[in-house]
Structure 1
Amino acid sequence: AAGLQISNRLTRQIKGLSVAVKNANDGISIAQTAEGAMQESTSILQRMRELALQSANGSNSEDDRTSLQQEFTALSGELNRIASTTTFGGRNLLDGSFGSTAFQVGASANETISVQHERR
């Protein structure tokens, strides 16, 4: 009876740890998804800065400025699209609505990692 009890306890711990590993991997995936979107957003913002500086050049024609503005506007739309469509598990990661979540990453109830996204 004691051997069966020990076996059952160890089996429960193993199953709990397996779920904890999956939860930790979900947390990593959320971070990777957000990071990829932020890297793309950074590239877009850098290009928008280049366009703004290029547009400030006094030698540009009206057609040049119009073309630069069109690209800038398209990039702004892409930036908004990234912010509104970057999701994980049905939750938006970049629009400020994510709030916080906790991941159970161990076999014990107090073994959690919290992730918070604050709108600034």
Structure 2
Amino acid sequence: MAIGARLNSEVQSLKTATVNVGQANAMLQIADGGMATIDDIMVRMKTLAVQASSENLSAVERGFAFSEFDTLRSELDRVADSTKFNGVQLLAGQDVLGVDPTVFAAGAADIGAADGFVSFDIAADATGVADTD
């Protein structure tokens, strides 16, 4: 009887482990979907930044690029904030493992004319048009 009880206990433990693995898989799929969306947004943001750095664009066109860039930045935050599993935010901008996130911040690298950039500034003036040099 003791052997049967032990085997029954192990079967129940394995069933619970199977459920846990299924839930972990679902959580990873949700996180992967959110990260794929963020990747698409960041690729578009990079494309806009490169286009805006071209001297072939007028101030109005750069303003449109800035507007889309700003909208994409808001969408990136929205996706990160709304990617949740069982109420747990998966893509929150939290300090993970003591890594300083400012180390990876945009603009940390010195990008210059040798890299193909003349100048690009995404700060808008009072009219909402991006101020570009």
- TM normalised by structure 1 equals 0.73
User: Among 90, 93, 96, which residue is 1:93 paired with?
Assistant: 90
How far does residue 41 in structure 1 lie from its aligned partner after superposition? 0.7
How far does residue 15 in structure 1 lie from its aligned partner after superposition? 1.0
Higher relative contact order (CA 8 A, sep 6+): 1
- Matching residue of 1:53: 50
**Can you list the C-alpha shifts for 1:57-113, whole angstroms capped at 9, x where unaligned?**
11212221111111111110110011111111111111145x8xxxxxxxxxxxxxx
Runs of at least 4 residues off by over 6 Å: none
Return the alpha-carbon distance in structure 2 between the equivalents of residues 95 and 76 of structure 1. 15
- Matching residue of 1:78: 75
Structure 2 counterpart of 1:35, one-letter code: D
Structure 1 counterpart of 2:32, one-letter code: E
- Matching residue of 2:12: 15
When the two chains are superposed, the root-mean-square deviation of aligned CA atoms in Å is 1.8
- Matching residue of 1:108: none
Structure 2 counterpart of 1:72, one-letter code: F
Structure 1 counterpart of 2:89, one-letter code: N
How far does residue 11 in structure 1 lie from its aligned partner after superposition? 1.5
- Matching residue of 1:67: 64
Q: Percent identity?
A: 31
- Matching residue of 2:30: 33
- Matching residue of 2:126: none
